[in-house]
């Protein structure tokens, strides 16, 4: 049992224990800040490039002024499917994992009083739900490692801690290894540990497997108000409540490759469940100096994301004499806040009569300005690491639409910069998005839109100590199919 006076120290352990041992702070920052509206099929088919256009319920979360474009009420919803493929690579070996599921990305209602007697000035409002985060993916890879063992990470963490205090100061890692006989203290120096078997004397390599499963999602409940002035200037504000959950289960296992060793294999398991919430505002402006030109600017204000994590670990060791030992950590929990630094979106749209339109947009987000805070812990070192490791990024989006009477076709492309300041030895954490779609609206204003998008990107992490472990590189390929149905009245 963890003693009460060690709660703050346990918090430190919790933040550093993750099996994905590239800095936990950066991992959390990218997990929660790298969000954008999945939205309707119309917006998705244009790769999210909609900042100066308006006229779609998703614009409440991109540029709130876009709701002011509406001249009718609208009700719509968007279900779909997501197909995630992850190709994991390490030490020259690769493994392919899939995760396919039904998703629900949007439901929204827009009300407009543009038919009022005052044509020069009118208000619209919208409300609904929009998915902004999706964590569902699996990855798995096995490889020979002739440089290090996870046991080296256990002995490094235990170094300097007396055996009778391991349970207090490292209950989620080296203590479990000690209880399953994977490490042991030297008799003459009880704060110096060696692995079992004695890899420190002679290490000939091991066969390692890393399996990772992530699930969960996040979305915004939103309420928007927008106004139109002479149908030349549109102003809007959106209030959102972010709600979501995240779950990760990972297993790292290691097999010996020398028959004479008593140890056969061991595994380290890490399980985490998180819930998060936030409250923020978005402000937007669209100016239409000419009928063919629209210019949009949106500011997503900084806000706090409140996160609650619960976690546990376990270690199992299997020996060639038939013994199987398993030891599980206590349940740990922490609460902390992550500051979202906000975002700016600048867009320009060109509209050609009854032919079609194109929108070009740029999003600016300063990941370096993200910060952790907590009443129980000083995050100064973690925040300094964020500032040194991450950077400002720009996401460029372009989308277009061609009209053929009541029918239309769409396409789009987006490129997100890697948020890491230095991407040496790791897969770049960028996303390329290529999308297409089509739609139609009936005589009685029922509409249906379909979209297909393909996203490719990457992520990299270390399964244990960053200085000794091999890097695992995940190449992500995500396919999404969305179908929006709705009515204007």
Q: What is the per-residue pLDDT for 189?
A: 76
H helix or E strand, kind and range, residue 298: strand 293-300
Residue closest to 209 by CA, chosen among 177, 171, 170, 257: 257
In a domain, 399, yes or no: yes
Please give the pLDDT value at position 457. Answer: 87
pLDDT number for residue 425:
57
pLDDT of residue 188: 73
The answer as to whether 322 is a domain residue is no
Query: What is the pLDDT at residue 245?
Result: 97
- Within a domain: residue 187? no
Give the model's pLDDT for residue 201: 86
Angle between helices 7-16 and 24-33 (to 10 degrees): 70
Q: Is residue 438 part of a domain?
A: yes
Task: Tell me the residue range of the domain where 406 lies.
Answer: 4-140+208-304+336-488
CA–CA gap between residue 472 and residue 92 (Å, rounded):
10
Q: Which of the 8 DSSP states describes residue 466?
A: T
Q: Which parts of the chain have pLDDT scores under 50?
A: 1-24
* Domain annotation covers residue 321: no
What is the rounded distance in angstroms from the CA atom of residue 414 to the CA atom of residue 435? Answer: 9
Q: List pLDDT tens digits, range 303-339.
A: 999 999 999 999 999 999 989 999 999 999 999 999 9
pLDDT score for 469: 93
In a domain, 351, yes or no: yes
- Asked if residue 458 is part of any domain, the answer here is yes
pTM, rounded to two decimals: 0.90
The string of DSSP codes covering 322-387 is S-EEEEEPPPEEEEEEEEE--EEEEEEEEEETTTEEEEEEEEEEEGGG-EEE-SS---HHHHHHHH
Q: Residue 320's closest CA among 264, 254, 266, 259?
A: 264
In a domain, 440, yes or no: yes
Domain with residue 103: its CATH number is 2.40.160.60
Pairwise CA distance, residues 214 & 65, whole Å:
35
Number of domains, the chain: 1
């Amino acid at each position: 049992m963890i003693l009460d006076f060690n709660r703050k120290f346990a918090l430190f352990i919790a933040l550093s224990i993750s099996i994905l041992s590239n800095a936990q702070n950066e991992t959390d920052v990218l997990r929660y800040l790298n969000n954008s509206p999945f939205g309707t099929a119309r917006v998705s088919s244009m790769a999210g490039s909609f900042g100066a256009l308006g006229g779609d319920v998703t614009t409440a979360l991109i540029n709130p002024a876009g709701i002011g474009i509406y001249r009718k009420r609208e009700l719509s919803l968007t279900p779909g499917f997501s197909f995630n493929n992850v190709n994991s690579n390490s030490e020259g070996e690769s493994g392919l994992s899939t995760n396919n599921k039904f998703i629900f990305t949007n439901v929204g209602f827009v009300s407009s009083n543009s038919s009022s007697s005052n044509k020069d000035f009118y208000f619209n409002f919208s409300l609904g739900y929009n998915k902004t985060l999706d964590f569902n993916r699996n990855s798995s890879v096995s490889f020979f490692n002739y440089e290090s063992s996870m046991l080296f990470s256990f002995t490094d963490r235990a170094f300097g801690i007396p055996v009778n205090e391991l349970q207090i100061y490292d209950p989620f890692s080296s203590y479990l290894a000690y209880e399953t006989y994977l490490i042991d203290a030297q008799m003459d120096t009880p704060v110096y540990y060696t692995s079992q078997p004695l890899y420190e004397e002679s290490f000939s390599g091991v066969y390692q497997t890393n399996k990772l499963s992530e699930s969960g999602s996040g979305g915004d409940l939103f309420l928007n108000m927008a106004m139109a002035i002479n149908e030349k200037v549109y102003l809007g504000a959106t209030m959102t409540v972010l709600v979501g959950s995240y779950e990760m289960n990972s297993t790292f296992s290691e097999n010996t490759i020398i028959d004479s060793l008593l140890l056969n294999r061991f595994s380290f398991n890490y399980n985490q469940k998180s819930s998060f919430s936030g409250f923020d505002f978005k402000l937007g402006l669209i100016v239409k100096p000419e009928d063919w030109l629209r210019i949009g600017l949106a500011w997503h204000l900084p806000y706090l994301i409140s996160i609650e994590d619960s976690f546990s670990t376990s270690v199992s060791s299997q020996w060639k004499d038939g013994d199987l030992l398993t030891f599980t950590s206590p349940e740990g929990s922490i609460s902390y806040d992550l500051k979202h630094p906000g975002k700016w979106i600048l867009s320009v749209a060109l509209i050609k009569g009854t032919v079609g339109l194109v929108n070009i947009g740029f999003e600016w987000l300063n990941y370096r300005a993200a910060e952790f805070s907590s009443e129980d812990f000083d995050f100064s070192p973690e925040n300094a690491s964020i500032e040194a490791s991450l950077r400002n990024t720009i996401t460029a989006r372009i989308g277009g639409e061609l009209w053929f009477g009541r029918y239309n076709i769409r396409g789009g492309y987006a490129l997100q910069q890697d948020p890491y300041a230095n991407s040496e030895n790791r897969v770049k954490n960028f996303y390329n998005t290529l999308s297409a779609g089509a739609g139609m609206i009936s005589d009685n204003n029922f509409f249906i839109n379909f979209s297909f998008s393909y996203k490719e990107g990457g992520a990299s992490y270390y399964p244990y100590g960053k200085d000794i472990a091999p890097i695992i590189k995940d190449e992500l390929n995500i396919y999404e199919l969305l179908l929006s149905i709705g009515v204007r009245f």
